[in-house]
């Protein structure tokens, strides 16, 4: 999955560079420009964008199914002052888990589409990643781990089954653990846009709405989710076929359930069910800003 994301980012950078090259050729033309000729803005186009994005995430909650009923899991985070990573010691945890996510300063996206001189239709691909902030954690990756317990406290009991051979022990726990390496999304959206072309003005206000699919990677699980996108901004005509633009946008991910997440069993669970498949509930909406170039072919 990480290799796919790296390749997608490289593709976005390449598309941006190609767009810049095409724009340079257009700007070097000695032919006088008539900005009032709206028909010059009609045709297929390509664009490349640099994105800065801010998460608008909710707290994480979790549940599992037992005897056809949904049961809540209580979340615990490792203590910031811990000087080691030991997921088997209950005193290493504190109740509650509310990670802070960094802003994304390395977002890239690109689009291909058709402009009718006002209305535009485009297909946009984007890559987004929000990592977990280390905050005040002292030891390595302790900020990434959390526990999910079948109860309000973390407990250990003696397992009635025969003990395993040394160096194992005979304890059973009421919790499992997971590692949070952030959220990444590769998305493809179909956008409908409108450019408000005003006479001889160089400025072009614009608005877009879009719907598409996003491949998310969160807690080691890959899920495909429907996403919605809304944009508002303006462009500046460098030539009738070259536009530099700035947009603000909001991305909505209505499905907040993440399934098939990767979990670790420190020991056998003390009570039935001995194996659980938690569903993580997490609102993954975000907003951002972009600057880019659009070149009409």
Whichever domain contains 206, its CATH number is 2.40.160.20
Place of tokens 């950078």: 13
Does the pLDDT at position 59 exceed 70?
yes
Work out how many domains the chain is built from and give that number. 1
Q: What is residue 9's predicted lDDT score, i.e. its pLDDT?
A: 45
Q: Is residue 35 part of a domain?
A: no
- pLDDT digits over 36-45, tens only? 546 678 899 9
Q: What is residue 216's predicted lDDT score, i.e. its pLDDT?
A: 95
Q: Beta strand 183-195 with 93-95: parallel, antiparallel or unpaired?
A: unpaired
Q: Is residue 73 part of a domain?
A: yes
Q: Is the pTM of this model over 0.85?
A: no
Q: What is residue 12's predicted lDDT score, i.e. its pLDDT?
A: 47
Q: Is residue 213 part of a domain?
A: yes
Domain ranges, residue 255: 2-29+43-296
Q: Is residue 88 part of a domain?
A: yes
Q: Is residue 36 part of a domain?
A: no
Q: What is residue 234's predicted lDDT score, i.e. its pLDDT?
A: 95
Q: Is residue 34 part of a domain?
A: no
């Amino acid at each position: 999955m990480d290799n796919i994301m790296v390749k997608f980012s490289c593709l976005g950078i390449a598309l941006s560079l190609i767009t810049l090259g095409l724009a340079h050729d257009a700007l070097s033309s000695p032919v006088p420009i008539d900005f009032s000729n709206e028909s010059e803005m009609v045709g297929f186009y390509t664009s490349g964008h640099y994105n800065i994005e801010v998460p608008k995430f909710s707290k994480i909650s979790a549940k599992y199914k037992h005897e056809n009923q949904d049961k809540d899991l209580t979340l615990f985070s490792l203590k910031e002052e811990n000087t080691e990573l030991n997921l088997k010691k209950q005193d290493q945890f504190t109740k509650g888990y509310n990670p802070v996510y960094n802003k994304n300063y390395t977002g890239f996206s690109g689009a291909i589409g058709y402009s009718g001189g006002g209305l535009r239709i485009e297909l946009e691909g984007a890559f987004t990643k929000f990592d977990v902030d280390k905050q005040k954690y002292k030891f390595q990756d302790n900020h990434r781990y959390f526990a999910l317990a079948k109860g309000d406290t973390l407990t250990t009991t003696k397992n009635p089954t025969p003990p395993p051979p040394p160096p194992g022990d005979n304890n059973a726990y009421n919790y499992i653990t997971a590692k949070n390496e952030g959220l990444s999304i590769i998305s493809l959206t179909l956008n409908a846009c409108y450019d408000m072309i005003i006479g001889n003005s160089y400025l072009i206000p614009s608005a877009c709405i879009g719907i598409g699919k996003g491949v998310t990677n969160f807690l080691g699980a890959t899920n495909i989710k429907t996403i919605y996108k809304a944009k508002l901004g303006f462009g500046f005509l460098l030539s009738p076929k070259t536009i530099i633009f700035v947009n603000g946008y909001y991305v909505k991910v209505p499905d907040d359930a993440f399934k098939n997440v990767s979990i670790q069993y420190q020991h056998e669970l003390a009570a039935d069910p001995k194996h659980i498949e938690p569903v993580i509930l997490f609102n993954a909406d975000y907003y951002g800003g972009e600057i880019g170039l659009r070149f009409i072919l």
